[in-house]
Every structure is written in C-alpha cells, then in structure tokens.
Structure 1
Amino acid sequence: MIFFVWIPFLVPFLAVPAARRLAEALPPRPAAWLLAVAATGLAACSTAALGLLALAGALRLPFFASLENLVAPLDALPAWLAFPAAATAAGLFAVAGTALVRTARRQFAELRAARRQLAPGTGELAVLRDPSPDAYALPGRPGRIVVTTGMLRALDPAEREALFAHERGHLVGRHHLFLAAAELAAHCHPALRALRDPLAYALERSADEYAAGAVGDRKLAARAIGRAALASRAVAAPGRPRAVLAAAAGPVPRRVAALLDRRPAPRLPRGRGARLIAAVVLGCLCVSAASAIEAAADLHGGIETAQGETGHR
C-alpha cells in the first residue's frame, strides 16, 4: 500500500494536460465526454486514496483497532508515516467533502430560486420581463429555455429560433450534469480545476452544432450567438444560476469562427503523436484506478493479518 496509494495523487498532473490536448482534436460531443469521464474518474481515485490513508492511520489508534478486533499493529504504513499521512488525508478529505456539499447545496438553491422566478406552466419556453438581455437553459422536470424580453428585442425572429435551438441542445444533452461533475471533481484534486473551462467550451460547441443542425444554417446560428453575446456583454443577469449554460458564455469569437468553418468536424487525428496522447489519457485512468484498487487490497490484507488470520498476503 505504501507505494500504490500515492499514485492516484500524482496521475492527474499528467492526465489533465493530455486530456485537454486530446479534447482539442475531437468533435465537441466526444470531447465533452472525454473531459467529464477523466475528471470524475481521476477525482474518484484520488478521493479513494485519501480515504485509504485516513483509514490506515485510524486503525493504529486503540479505539478503532478494537472495533476491527486487531490483535497486532497494522503494518500497511510505517509508524512514522501513518499518523501524519492519516491526519493530512483526513483533513483534506474533510475539506473536499465540505466543499462538495456546499457546492451541491448552492447549485440546487440557485436552480430552485431561478424556477421560482418563472411563471407557472409546463411549456418549454419561459419569458422573463427583464430589459437585460439574457438566455439560458434551466434544467429540471421539465427543462426550460429561459429568455428575457431584452434578449428577444435584440434578435430577429430567425436568430431567436437559432438561440432557442442552442439552449435546447443543452437540455437534450443534459449538459448541466457534465458541468456539475467537473465542478465537483475540481474540489477533489487541484489539477482537475484545469478541466472545467475546456469542458464548458466543449459543451457550448456541442450546443452550437445542435443549433446549426436544427435551423439548417450555420451562418444564422453563428450570427445569433454573436449578436446575443454582444447584447448581453457576456455578463450573467442576477437571476441566472452559475450552474447553467448560456449561448453568450465562453469564448464566443472562437465558437463563431468554428461555426463558420464549413470543413467537417475534426476527428481524432492520425499519427503517432495523437495515438500517444490517447494512450496516455487511457493509461492514466487505468493506472490510477488499478493503484487505488491495489492499495485497498493491500490494506484489506494488512487488516486480516493484524486480526491474526492466516492464508492472506
């Protein structure tokens, strides 16, 4: 355990840059999946490693050792390392857990507050009487496309349809779950914070492509997104939850340029470099998971040995 338990903490520093590089070469939807899976997988492994360290140290204390009926000292970690590592891991685990709970509660509270602002009804479109131009996809049952009267006045009818299609793309793709996963994963390991912005961009690009396909005109979709961004100045209205996605968010000029590029959507590039990056990302996920599992198995074997059982490693 002394070796394997540290690997999930180190792997993200290599996996995150590789995942970001690979996501740039993928179409928006696969890129979003790649970044979300990498973030949640690496976060889960590093969090499990924290828990194993904390447990290994706790089981050296008489009270916890008695609960597990340990008749000999647990040798999963050296004595000089067990208590400092366990105390640090327990502290980090508590900080991450507190941040996770606070973030989840804040997001739910903001979503509930946003829903209370809407008029009763089950229609997809909800119009707010607000002169500030804004539009966003509000998840829920059912999901709603929220748009202010200020935004409606800023766009012509065709551009409105493109904007609605963009927000509908967020709802259909359940993009809020991807964004929430990245936000929560960022609290589990500092390196994973670097995946939030690329993931948000991939989700916006995915909705852009959905809108372009829905209206059948890439130029119209690009114009609608550009005008919506200029009207809102990319500043969220007071009622917009931070956990939702909006057409005017993110690097709009880059998104507009991508929509106006009529070349086919990028595919996974060929060549040794691309294959190497993909292998690094996959290898990092596998190594991190395998290391966490191996550390857990070693700790389990150490507990059985300390309990006086035989026949276990």
Structure 2
Amino acid sequence: MERLVTLYNIASPSGKEKPMLRYLKAELKRMGISCRQDRQGNLYAVKGRAKTYPCVVAHVDEVHRHRTGTYGAHVVADAMVIGYDHRHKRVTGIGADDKNGIWICLKCLEDFKVMKCVFFVQEENGCIGSRGADMAFFSDCRFVLQCDRWGNSDFITRIHGTELCTRDFVGCADLPKYGYKPAEGATTDVYVLKRRGLPVSCANISCGYYEPHTDREYTILEDLYKCYRLVRHIIVAHKTVSVHSPEPERCPFPGYYEAFGISGYSEEEYQRMVRWFKNGCSRKPLKKDFI
C-alpha cells in the first residue's frame, strides 16, 4: 500500500517522467535487479537467468499535468484511493493510469525469481516510448502483459482489429475463474509492440482504476489486487513461449495528446475516431476530423 501511494504522489506527465524513472531505478537497485535505459528513456529490467522469461510492461507517464504542493493521494476506508488538492479543496487525478501497472510490475519483480519488465515513456503522447523500444529485448519472452485498462474485468485480446494473442493463451489464463473476459480495447504499448512485430502473445488487463484522464480518477484496491492475482496465475501457468505472429503494419492509431491535445476529448469524439480507424485510413486522424 505504501509503495502504491508513493507512486501516486510522484508527478510524471508525458515528457517529464524523470522523477518517476529515478524512483524506479532506486527501487530496482534496492531489490538487486539490473536495469538499463535507452535513448527514448524507456527502462528495461531483468531478474534472474533463464532461456525464456515472463514479461510485464507499464508506462510511466500520466495525463495529469497541474499539481500544487498540497496535492496528495489518500486511502479511503482501506478500499479506494483518491487524489485531493488541499489548496483548492477539490479532488484531482492520481495517475493510476498507469501507476497501477507500475505497481504490478514491481510486485512481479519482487515475487518471481525470473522476470522481465519494461517501463515505457510517453504512452499518452502517442506511445512514443514503445514505438522506439528495443524489440530484441523481447526475443526470449514467453508473452508480454500490460496492466493499463480501466475497470476490473477486461482482458484485451484485440485492439483496432489487431489480434494480440492465441486462443490457447487465453484459455490457459482461465479468465472466468478470476472474473475476467476477453474484450477489445484502445491503443497502448502492447498494441504498438504487436504492430512492430512482437512474435509472442500479449494482452492488456483491467487493473482497478476508473474515470482515467479526469480529475475524478480513483482506484478500487480490491480490483487492483484482483488484477495481480490474474497476472500471477498467467506467469505460473505459462512456462513455454506463446508464439503469435503479428499482422501487417498499417496506419498507427494516435495517442491521447497526439490526437486531441491537452484539452482532451469526449467519448463521442473518441468513438468517431475508432470508427475512422476501423474503416481504413490513409493518415492519422486529427481532432478537427471529429468535431
């Protein structure tokens, strides 16, 4: 719990993730886990030595940009976490998208003897980090999981028409037992990795945050723990490489800031963008196309 609140209290807007990266490097050093950073700023961590590795990834940036010295994350009744700006006396976003995913990565690195993790920069700004990531890092991975989905029940197996994993991989996950179901989702790093040729199954998983990209964002702790239980199960159950061939590249789907700017978008505008993409596009859609 303490680590989770610490993550929420570190401001890391897209392009300004250095405080979060410093914290992660310190945590990895404390755990005795080797890591390296690429030119994009992405952080790669490896624990143990093995022929193949389970891999979990997260992004370190957040949408929220405006914070004062009186901001803080608060646990309510041991059940949920909210952000509160004491100076302006209002709730505010906590960056649970995707600090919940970071928390799960760190838990995996603590709990398993063999593990790979990547912490991507600027996901909210068009998945810039994963677009420039070192794909060779994933050459010995069994699968790649990302916990970057709102809610508590979606196991994203398809994004913008692109299949992310095999049916066998989904079956091995035993989703009903953990309260999950296959679903289609929005752009995040595993989608970009798959479009770039990731040859193994991947998925994006609901991890207990709600109303992301708004000042009303909050986390339900039980739903976060539920996500981690599913991730643990997949790591334990999947000891072999889940081979899955990517589909041919096409026009990439833009990120939050890239398409709409800091002002954001309405749900209606976003759905128009998704329909534009599914119907085929010759260029990246822009906000002006949908308003």
Tell me the TM-score normalised to structure 1 length.
0.23
Task: Compare the two structures and name the one with the higher helix fraction.
Answer: 1
Q: Which has the higher contact order (CA 8 A, sep 6+)?
A: 1
Write 1 or 2 for the structure with the bigger share of strand: 2
In the superposition, the TM-score normalised over structure 2's length comes to 0.24
